[in-house]
DNA sequence: ATTATTTTGAGATATATTTCACAAAATAGC
DNA sequence: GCTATTTTGTGAAATATATCTCAAAATAAT
């Protein structure tokens, strides 16, 4: 079964909310509760769930524990996913120090950098020189990589990742990586996000001016 | 004129590529060049451009300088956009130290944090205590804010931002902010992005197994 | 000057995504 | 047990987004 892009994004969001609800002691939830929390319509929630084969109880809503299990299955949350990061600058360090991934079953296992000053092979999560990345990926069967190097280094670093066995991950560099099928990278371009937001802010302002 | 969400995102991407091309001395570009660089189809580029009222020359392609001017107009790049950040932890510091926004006409003018240790009212971009944020936004007519505080503080901090005059920005906290019309926040949820990527990686793997 | 080639521009078509609308099921109240 | 109420589940309709196709324009070649 193949699900839509958007549906999977929302699935992950639903799951985050549900885990919090469950931790608070809640046992069931209505589509309208979830829709409020995630910022979509109730119909969207029900449509998504129906697509995922997640069933509720008419009048009784959905059983949180039940649907969390189903979601974990769909998202492949049965095993911890090991992730590496290339580039230990601003973004790379922020990610490697973030405590929030662990409880999502995502473990950052190592960082890599070309700058010897950044290397730190002691401590909790070790930072190695970039020329050790290929072997590390191979030896530890890493499949997920994060690109946090400057744009001009991104493609080269990514190519090494792929040749070593990386199958996907995130790219923070403001370029579009070239890759073959069989590899899935998602771009996070903060600059573009900001520009886009500012555009829609301006558009909204103009619209308001027209109405008044 | 109202443009689609996706088109504006791509517009910002096209613009990034075009600025690089122009810096390299290129004067014109074909839809297929741009589509390669941004990872879309040439038809998509032309459709977007036609929607934006950006015209090219049949056989000669598009004049980079020309269309950059047009894009700047659409994206409101005539003036520098001042931005503040709430939360000077991992993500907040990464953003405030990033040098790449300036050349996009985006200026991070201040950071704010509840932790007195993080406050640093000397230096290039100053970091103030969060209780100075309201006045700062008011006094400096700031309209764009970035939320980089923990999830449980995000809504409260955002409400202060809005009451002081913020009209939009980015939210890195993994929650959906409640807001009225007239305000546009874009969520950047790294955890969700990673989960989604991993899902599609697994889906791709399963598919490959079937084919082989 | 004529012909061949390239590339845009846009209507038509296809696909993806969201919302609507309401019957059917489950529960609660009396 | 019967009735009223709530909420799901899902086709159908609406909207949004992307691709296809090809005539027309611009240029290059001969
Ligand atoms: N920091 C931000 O807020 C921000 C915002 C938007 C986009 N980005 C993008 O994210 C990426 C990282 O940004 P940053 O601010 O962390 O940059 P940074 O300069 O702080 O860090 C980059 C790190 O990569 C290392 N590096 C350089 N070449 C390398 C190579 N070939 N192999 C391994 N490591 C190498 C550098 O030594 C450095 O430590 C950049 O592409 C940037 O454009 C960052
Ligand atoms: N760092 C990451 O890689 C990452 C990844 C995904 C999501 N996030 C999200 O981004 C946000 C920031 O993450 P982080 O890693 O930078 O966290 P962090 O804990 O490093 O930083 C948070 C900062 O906010 C400050 N703060 C707390 N309450 C505040 C308040 N009421 N007003 C002002 N400041 C306050 C803290 O003092 C701290 O400096 C969080 O919501 C987190 O879930 C971060």
pLDDT digits (tens, 9 = 90+) for A11-45: 999 999 999 999 999 999 999 999 999 999 999 99
The whole-number pLDDT of residue B206 equals 82
Judged on CB neighbours under 10 Å (0-12, 13-18, 19+), A41 is: exposed
Asked if A151 contacts A135 with a C-beta cutoff of 8 angstroms, the reply is no
Cα(B208) to ligand 2 centroid in Å equals 39
Q: Is the CB of B195 under 6 A from ligand 2?
A: no
* Residue B212 clears pLDDT 80, i.e. is over it: no
Which nt is closest to the CA of A41, judged by C1'?
C19
Q: Residue A95: its chain B contacts at CB < 8 A?
A: 90, 190
Separation between the CA of B57 and the C1’ of C9 (whole angstroms)? 10
How many other β-carbons are positioned within 10 Å of the β-carbon of residue B85? 28
pLDDT value for A210: 67
pLDDT reported for residue B181: 86
* Cβ of A83 below 6 Å from ligand 2: no
Class of domain B5-74 as given by CATH: mainly alpha
pLDDT in tens, A98-133: 999 999 999 999 999 999 999 999 989 999 999 999
Mean pLDDT of B56-73: 96
A132 to A121, A129, A166: CA distances (angstroms)? 12, 6, 15
- List, for residues B18-46, the tens digit of each pLDDT value: 999 999 999 999 999 999 999 999 999 99
Q: Are both B5-74 and B81-190 of the same fold?
A: no
Sequence-ordered list of residues with C-beta below 8 angstroms from that of A51, at least 6 positions apart, any chain = A3, A4, A7
N-term to C-term CA, chain A:
49
Half-sphere exposure of A17 (CA within 13 A, CB side): 21
Residue B103 touches partner A, C-beta closer than 8 Å = no
CA distance A109 to A83: 6
Residues from chain A contacting residue B190 (CB–CB below 8 Å): 95, 98, 170, 188
CATH for A81-190 is 3.40.50.720
- Pairing verdict, β B81-86 and B144-147: parallel
Average pLDDT of chain B to the nearest whole number: 95
The partner residue sitting opposite B196, judged by closest CB among A12, A37, A182, is A12
SS3 B85: strand
Which tokens hold the place of A204? 């909204």
Residues of B in contact with A200 (CB under 8 A): 8, 168, 184
| Section B160-182 average pLDDT | 96
Listed by start position, the domains of chain B span 5-74, 81-190
Mean pLDDT, chain A, whole residue set: 95
pLDDT category of residue A68 using cuts at 50, 70 and 90:
very high
What's this model's pTM, rounded to 2 decimal places?
A: 0.96
CA distances for A92 relative to A5, A159, A173, B107, B167, angstroms? 26, 18, 11, 22, 29
Crossing angle of helices A5-23 and B190-211, in 10° steps, is: 120
CA of B141 to the centre of ligand 2 (A): 25
Protein residue closest to D19, using CA and C1': B43
User: In angstroms, what is the C-alpha Rg of chain B?
Assistant: 21
The rounded distance, in Å, linking the Cα atoms of B196 and A59 is 31
Q: Could you report the per-residue pLDDT of A145-154, keeping only the tens digit for each?
A: 999 999 999 9
Q: How confident is the model at residue B209 (pLDDT cuts 50, 70, 90)?
A: confident
Q: What percent of chain B has pLDDT over 70?
A: 98
For ligand 2, atom 31: residue with the closest CA: B153
Q: Does residue B148 have its Cβ closer than 6 Å to ligand 2? A: yes
| Backbone angle region of B40, left / alpha / beta, with phi > 0 → left and psi within -120 to 50 → alpha | beta
Q: What is the model's pLDDT at position B211?
A: 64
């Amino acid at each position: 079964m193949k699900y839509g892009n958007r549906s999977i994004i929302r699935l992950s969001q639903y799951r985050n909310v549900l885990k919090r609800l469950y931790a608070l002691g809640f046992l069931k939830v209505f589509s309208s509760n979830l829709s409020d929390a995630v910022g979509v319509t109730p119909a969207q929630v029900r449509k998504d769930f129906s697509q995922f084969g997640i069933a509720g109880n008419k009048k009784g809503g959905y059983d949180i524990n039940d649907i969390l299990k189903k979601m974990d299955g769909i998202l492949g949350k049965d095993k911890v996913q090991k992730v590496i990061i290339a580039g230990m600058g601003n973004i790379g360090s922020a990610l490697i120090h973030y405590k929030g991934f662990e409880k999502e079953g995502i473990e950052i296992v190592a960082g890599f950098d070309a700058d010897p000053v950044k290397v730190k092979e002691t401590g909790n999560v070790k930072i190695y020189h970039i020329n050790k990345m290929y072997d590390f990926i191979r030896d530890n069967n890493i499949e997920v990589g994060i690109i946090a190097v400057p744009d001009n280094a991104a493609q080269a670093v990514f190519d090494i990742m792929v040749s070593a066995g990386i199958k996907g991950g995130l790219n923070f560099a403001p370029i579009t990586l070239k890759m073959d099928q069989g590899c899935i990278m998602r771009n996070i371009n903060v600059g573009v996000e900001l520009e886009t937001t500012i555009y829609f802010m301006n558009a909204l302002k103009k619209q308001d001016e027209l109405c008044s």
